[in-house]
Homo-oligomer: A and B are copies of this chain.
Amino acid sequence: MAKKTEKNNDDIGEDVRLALYRSQQEVRQLEKRAYDLFLQNLIKGTSHLCIGQEAIAAGFATAMKPGDWSFCTYRGHGHTLARGASMTGVLGELMGRECGLLAGKGGSMHLTDVEKGAMGSYAIIGAHLPIAMGAAWKAQYKKTGEVAVCFFGDGTTNIGAFHEALSMSATWKLPVVFVCENNLYMEYTSIGDVTPVEHPAADRAPAYGLPKIIVDGNDADAVYRAARTAFDLARAGGGPSLIEAKTYRHHGHSRADPGKYRPDDEVKAWMARDPIPFYRQRLLDFGVSEASITAIEEEVAAAVNVATEEAKASPPPSQDLILKDVWADGGWAWRN
């Protein structure tokens, strides 16, 4: 651990910064492992990596309290992990093993860990915005001080559910924070080609009586500060926020996509803004020692290795799961 320098003793502080770095490392290393595993054909189906976007997951999750809720998309491994879900559970789910968070029933696009506040990953564009709003409604009604956070992409700002959720959340002044991770692309189409405004989320905020908020999504400190402000507002009864975080995914949209539609120099410029080396440098600048940084990195690497082995060792889900948990009684009967 570094001696706290004055510089690293600002509104964020060293402990939080180390947590932010650790969280980014966990997401990055786990996603890289997922990539290796699907190259080995140990992960079936699809997978949407968030490599390049880790600062957003880390920044928000670190600012959240236990009891707060995250709602994310199919690109949700990072957000789920950042809330504290087990690495084994995440990898196991991707691999369709019994140890998976959902015992293989959901798959890569639906990671959920309710105990940790990771309230689900939703694979239909836009659907989870109104759902997150509903959680916030519960918090408002019960006056519990919980906040719901909803992550989604730039492409999601053009679908109807976005509009309905923003509009009703703002009217009801609900404690929900909408976070648009603008990585410039839908699947293979540039968001600029299909959207009539420059900032697909922020430019829409005034339509709901909300301020335009844009943050550097590759700087975990900036994300963390924006999150804190939005959470404070929400808990104070000030209603929702809509935050647009600019970022970039390093890989293609999903495992099937090499991402060739992106201009080389765009890719190069964004790779140079990789959030993780950037944040590592900030830690060094703030006086954290190389050794303590490396220690984090190695701890994470070790944890990812353990999780990989555990997931590989886990059996496929038992067949009787198929007919379980359609209903709250644990069963699936639709007849007597």
Footprint of B on A, CB under 8 Å? Answer: 158-164, 167-168, 170-171, 194-197, 203-204, 206-210
Contact = CB atoms under 8 A, between A and B. Distances in A.
20 contacts: A158-B163, A158-B164, A159-B164, A160-B162, A163-B163, A167-B195, A168-B194, A170-B196, A171-B194, A171-B195, A171-B196, A196-B208, A196-B209, A196-B210, A197-B206, A197-B207, A197-B209, A203-B206, A204-B207, A206-B207
Contacts of A203: 206-207, 209
A93 to B, nearest CB: 31
A207 B208 CA distance: 10
Contacts of A196: 167, 170-171, 208-210
Given A160-B160, A160-B162, A168-B194, 20 more contacts: A158-B167, A158-B168, A159-B160, A159-B163, A159-B164, A160-B161, A163-B164, A167-B195, A167-B196, A170-B196, A171-B194, A171-B195, A171-B196, A196-B210, A197-B208, A197-B209, A203-B206, A203-B207, A203-B209, A207-B207
A247 B238 CA distance: 32
Q: From A159, A171, A210, name the one whose CB has the most chain B CB atoms within 10 angstroms.
A: A171
Nearest to A165: B160
Contacts of A163: 158-160, 162-164
A158 B209 CA distance: 13
Given A206-B203, A207-B203, A207-B207, A164 B160 contact: yes
Chain A interface main SS type = helix
A161 to B, nearest CB: 6
Nearest to A130: B160
A155 to B, nearest CB: 11
For A158, A163, A197, A209, which residue has the most chain B Cβ atoms within 10 angstroms? A163
Nearest to A192: B171
Contacts of A158: 163-164, 167-168
Contacts of A160: 159-164
Nearest to A194: B171
Contacts of A197: 206-209
A317 to B, nearest CB: 36
Contacts of A162: 160, 163
Contacts of A207: 197, 203-204, 206-207
A122 to B, nearest CB: 16
Nearest to A170: B196
A161 B170 CA distance: 19
A52 B190 CA distance: 46
Contacts of A204: 207
A161 B160 CA distance: 6
Nearest to A209: B196
Q: Which 10 A-B pairs have the closest CB atoms?
A: A160-B160, A163-B163, A170-B196, A207-B207, A196-B209, A204-B207, A171-B196, A158-B167, A196-B208, A197-B209
